[in-house]
Amino acid sequence: MRLRLKMRSLTMNELPPPPPDKTGWPWTEETPPLPESMPDGSPWPRISIVTPSYNQGQFIEETIRSVLLQGYPNLEYIIMDGGSTDNSVEIIKKYEPWLAYWVSEKDRGQSHAINKGFEKSTGEIMAWINSDDFYFPECLHKVALAFFSHPYAGFVVGGIAPADESSCLGKVQVPKLPAGAPVDLTLLDPDSWHLPQASAFFSRKLLSEIGAWVREDLHYTMDRELFYRAAYKSNLIILEQALATFRHHPQSKTTAYILSAFEETRKSFAYCNIGVDKQKKLRARILKFRLAQGYYYYANTVWGIQAFMYFVKAVIFRPEYIFRLSFLKNAFKKSILKIR
C-alpha cells in the first residue's frame, strides 16, 4: 500500500459510522482538532503510530478509531497485519483512506511486524499500540507537548488503565520509577518500577541511537528490553494521566502466556549483561526476583497442586514470598469449587 506522508486532523463525521451498539469514546465521541501549529508557532511534530495485528477483529476497530480521532494534525498511522483470517482485514479496509500504510501478510511475529512498521515510518515521535488496546482522548496532544517542554527527553510514558473485553475500565496505573533516568533498569528490584508499553512514546533520535528497533527474537519481553536500552541512555518524562488502555482477555499474549513472558526475561537480561562483576551479580539476583514474580503471578491463575508447585518455585527464587502463603488457601478453595 502507498505510504502517505501527511495527514490532517480528522473528525468523527469523516469516518465510517460506528456499529449501532457502540457509544462513547472512540465511537460517538472525538478529540477536537488541534490548532495547525504548536503554542510557539512551530509545526506539530509528526507522530508515527504502528499497530501490529493478527486476528483481533473483535477489538481492532476501537484501536483504529482511537488513533484517528485524536484530532492530531501531523499523524502517520501504519497497520501491519500478519495475515489475519478473521474479519480484521475487512475492518482495516474501511479505514484505508486515512492510513499512511497498511498490509496484510505473513510475518515472523509481533516484534517483526512492529519493526516493519517502524521501517515504513517517518515520524519524529514513534510508538506502537496493539490491536486490542486503545488510546484515550488528547493522548497525542499531551505527548507532543511533553516532548516540546522537555527537548532533552528521549521518551515519554503515561498512565494506563486496564480494560476488559467490554472496554470497562479499571483503576489507572501510574508509571513509577524510583530513580531518575538515565538508569539501568536491570539493576532495580522489578517490583519497584512500572513503565507500561501502551502509553510509551519514543523519539526517533533515541531509537536510532540505541539500536533500531525491538528485538525480533523476543516475543513477550521486547517492550521491557527496549525500556532497558532506552532508560540506560536517555532522560524519561512520566505523565500521571492515563494515555492508553491495556486490555485483559483470554486471547491476549500477556494473559495466555504469562509464564513464557516471565521466563523470556532470561534472554532479555542477557542482552544487557554489562558492567563490572558487582553489577552482574546484582543483575543475576534481580533476574531471580523477576522469575519469582512470574511464578507467583502464574500460581494465582491456576488451582490446587499446580498453584502450590509454582508458589514453591517463587519462594525458591525469592524466599520472602513465603509470607504470601495465605493466597494458597484461596487457590485450593477455588480448586474445590471447580470440582463441585
> What's the CATH code of the domain at 159?
3.90.550.10
Residues 161 and 246 grouped into a single domain: yes
Is a pLDDT exceeding 90 seen at residue 196? Answer: yes
Taking residues 197-219, what's their average pLDDT?
95
Q: How many helices (H) and strands (E) does the chain have?
A: 12, 7
The tens digit of pLDDT for each residue in 28-84 reads: 999 998 988 998 999 999 999 999 999 999 999 999 999 999 999 999 999 999 999
Residues 99 and 230 grouped into a single domain: yes
Nearest to 332 by CA among 286, 300, 290, 293: 300
CA angle 109, 111, 114 (to 5 degrees): 110
Split into its structural domains, the chain has a count of 2
Q: Is residue 59 assigned to a domain?
A: yes
How high is the pLDDT of residue 181? 76
Q: Is residue 268 assigned to a domain?
A: no
Domain membership of residue 282 as a residue range: 275-339
**pLDDT range class, residue 12, cuts 50, 70, 90:** very high
**pLDDT range class, residue 338, cuts 50, 70, 90:** very low
Residues 159 and 281 grouped into a single domain: no
Q: Is residue 6 assigned to a domain?
A: no
Is a pLDDT exceeding 90 seen at residue 165? Answer: no
- Rounded to two decimals, what is the model's pTM? 0.88
Taking residues 323-336, what's their average pLDDT?
57
**pLDDT range class, residue 261, cuts 50, 70, 90:** confident
Instruction: Report residue 33 as a C-alpha cell.
Output: 482538532
Is a pLDDT exceeding 70 seen at residue 190? Answer: yes
Q: Is residue 7 assigned to a domain?
A: no
100/218 Cα distance (integer angstroms): 27
Round the average pLDDT of the chain to a whole number and report it.
89
314/213 Cα distance (integer angstroms): 32
**pLDDT range class, residue 337, cuts 50, 70, 90:** very low
Q: Is residue 263 assigned to a domain?
A: no
Cβ–Cβ < 8 Å for 47, 139: no
How high is the pLDDT of residue 303? 81
Instruction: Report residue 77 as a C-alpha cell.
Output: 498511522
Q: Is residue 258 assigned to a domain?
A: no
**pLDDT range class, residue 270, cuts 50, 70, 90:** confident
283/275 Cα distance (integer angstroms): 10
- Share of the chain residues as helix, strand and coil, in percent rounded to the nearest 5: 40, 15, 40
Instruction: Report residue 99 as a C-alpha cell.
Output: 492510513
